[in-house]
Every structure is written in C-alpha cells, then in structure tokens.
Amino acid sequence: MSQSKNNNEYLLEVKDLKMYFPVTRGLLRRKVADVKAVDGVSFSLKKGETLGLVGESGCGKTTVGRTINRLYKPTAGEIIFQGEDIAQLPEKELKPVRREMAMIFQDPYSSLDPRQSAGNIVGEPLIVHNITKNKDDYYERVERLFQMVGLDPALMNRYPHEFSGGQRQRIGIARALACNPSLIICDEPVSALDVSIQAQIINLLMDLKSEGDKLLTYIFIAHDLSVVKHISDRVAVMYLGRVVEITTPGELYNNPLHPYTQALLSAVPVPDPEIEEKRERIILEGEVPSPLFPPSGCTFHPRCPMATPECSKTIPELRDCGNGHMVACLRV
C-alpha cells in the first residue's frame, strides 16, 4: 500500500504546521484572538523511525499529534503523509488515510467506550474500513490482536470497567493496530499508568514495532524524558508551539544545545544523592507565557538565562549544528 504511493524515504513530512484555535467573545462570536497552540512546526519522519515529542504541559505536543491525525484541521502548513498532503483534505477523503494512521490516547479510562465490549472496541476499525470478509475472519483477527497485545482472547466479551488501567491501555493499542497502520501516534500512552505498568506498555510498543509485516513508525508524545530516551530514535523538544531542538536521544542528553533543553534536562532528578547534591540546576524563572500572546522573537527569551536584546526581535529558525542536530536558537 504505502510502498506504491511513496517512493521517497520519508513516511511523514510536516512543514510549517500551524494550528490556531480562535477565541470568540460575545453574542456574535466575534473572533478576538487566536490561541497559537502550534506555531510553525516542521519535521520529517522516516519509515520505521520513532520520534519522541517532549515539552511541558501546554506546549502543544498533543495538538501536534492530533493535527497530524487530522482530528483538527490545521490553520496552515503541510502534512505530507505517504507522499500526499493531507492537511486540508475533507473528512470524506481522509478515510483511507485514517486506515494508515492510528492513535493511542493518554487516558485509558476515557478513551474506551464503557458500553462496548473489549472485543467490539478492538474490532470496530475492521468494520469501519470493511476489512474482514466474514464473521469468522473478523473474530480470528480480533483474537490475534488480543494476543499481540498480551491479552487473553477469552476476555473479548468483558467491558472496559472490568479491566485495570494497563489492560485498558493494551485494548487501546490493539484498536490502534487493528487496521495494520504504518504510523501510530502515541499521545502520552503511559503517563496515566503506574510506573511498573509503564515499562510493560513501553516494551510492548517496542516489540510491536518490528513484529508486524509493516515496519511501524511512531510519534511518541510524552513529558517523561527517561521514557522518551528509551524508545526514541530522535527527540523533538517543544516550547510554546514551536520545536526548539531535534536530535538523537544520546546527543540530546549529552550535549543539549538549546537553553530550554538544558533547563529541562537539569530538572530530571538523578538517583544518586551525591551527584544530585553537587550538580548544577538551571531554574527557569516565571511561567510559560500564554500562547494567546506569545512573546516576540524567540518565545523563550523572557525566561532564557542567555538572552540578548536581539532575541526579542528575531524568530530563530531551526538550523543544523552538525550531524542532524537541529536547534532553534540565535546564541548557539
């Protein structure tokens, strides 16, 4: 499927993606401002790659994921998926795209319909896309999906409230796998789970990657840096709707270039008390500015320890600092 359509090496290319949510006031719903949730994000993703997307709450990670999945219609920019720009496609033409792209949600409690049995939830994409030939084929596939995510197929008739959080997330993963997609967007799939379960789910996702007959590509959204380091091939750091740094996890952890990334990494506690005592922490001042009225120039400049007057005027572009290590900072 994907091979015929797309001969270049990128599965997904996002170019200058913008997603503004209008703020309306009054009886006539006049637009008074825009929440610039995503403001010019660009990256590309090779087949089989895992891109980690990190950043603090409200920086637009989830919005990026949902916009790529076309749950929102982007304000501007291109989303080139399998060689086709899907950014402005109407809902009707999106159906084949939806089959190739799946999403795993953060909250395993609200992402499963409480009135549907686990089997129905997992099998629904098969019905929606008319994939299975008959009833037997359908049950066989649902059963296989259950086995793939480590659930007993005998539990097909149970309802979501009868499962634990980790098991529910497995159901969500099975649903995402149902149509055999090439891209899965994982929107903080483990943040709502216990630490012990987190590891299971992460390992499951990593195992699944190479198990299918198609190499899975992930966009892995998280705010937990250690989780992202473990699973990603490349990591993108976001701040206030923009990507400030993209590189490999090793490079990012050993040689963070953007001052925001440095501050973010220094906030991760070290389990060794002696090192923890000695190490230097960069403490950011102030709050994340409102995406309604983002600061001029580099949006990070009001909190940046190394900002110059120039930073409040010029918007820094992402540029390569060697070996594909991309940074958006004037001072680097």
Partner 1 sequence: MPETVVNTETVAEVQPRRSEWKRFRRVFFQRKVAIFALIIICIMIFTAVFAPWLAPYDPNEQNLSNSMAPPSREHLLGTDRLGIDTFSRLIWGARTALIVGFATAFISAAIGTALGMIAGYFGGVISTVIMRFMDALMGFPMIVLALLLAGVLGSGMQNIIIALTVASVPGYVRLMYGMTLSVKENDYILAQRSIGSSSARTIWKHIFPNALQPMIVMLTSALGGIIMAESGLSFLGVGITAPDVAWGSMVADGFKYLQTYPILSFAPGVCIMLVVFSFNILGDSLRDALDPRLRGTL
Closest CB to partner 1 among 189 and 249? 189
Which token pair is 69? 């999945």
Query: Half-sphere exposure (CA, 13 Å, Cβ side) for 59?
Result: 23
From the list 30-38, 147-155, 241-249, 285-293, the region that binds partner 1 by CB under 8 A is: 147-155
Extended strands (E) in 130-207? 183-187
Q: Which residue type does 96 have?
A: P
Closest CB to partner 1 among 49 and 187? 187
Kindly state whether residue 215 participates in binding partner 1, applying the rule CB under 8 A: no
Question: Which position among 211, 272, 310, 317 is part of the footprint of partner 1 (CB under 8 A)?
Answer: 211
The packing angle between helices 195-211 and 165-177, to 10°, is 20
Question: Which position among 33, 76, 131, 155 is part of the footprint of partner 1 (CB under 8 A)?
Answer: 155
From the list 32-40, 175-183, 224-232, 290-298, the region that binds partner 1 by CB under 8 A is: 175-183
Sheet holding 10-25, edge to edge: 30-46, 10-25, 76-81, 84-85
Question: Which position among 158, 223, 230, 331 is part of the footprint of partner 1 (CB under 8 A)?
Answer: 158
Kindly state whether residue 149 participates in binding partner 1, applying the rule CB under 8 A: yes
H or E segment and range at residue 235: strand 234-239
Mapped onto helix, strand or coil, the DSSP state of residue 215 is coil
Closest CB to partner 1 among 141 and 230? 141
Quote the CA–CA distance of 311 and 291 in Å, as a whole number. 18
To partner 1, the closest distance from the beta carbon of 132 in angstroms equals 12
To partner 1, the closest distance from the beta carbon of 279 in angstroms equals 36
* Residue entry with tokens 């919005």: 63
Instruction: Give the CA dihedral 124, 129, 132, 136, nearest 10 degrees.
Output: 20
**Residues of the shown chain interacting with partner 1 in the complex, contacts defined by CB under 8 A:** 66, 69, 71, 94-95, 98-99, 102-103, 105-107, 110-116, 124-125, 128-129, 141, 144-145, 147-152, 155, 158, 161-164, 166-167, 170, 172, 175, 178-180, 200, 204, 207-208, 211-213
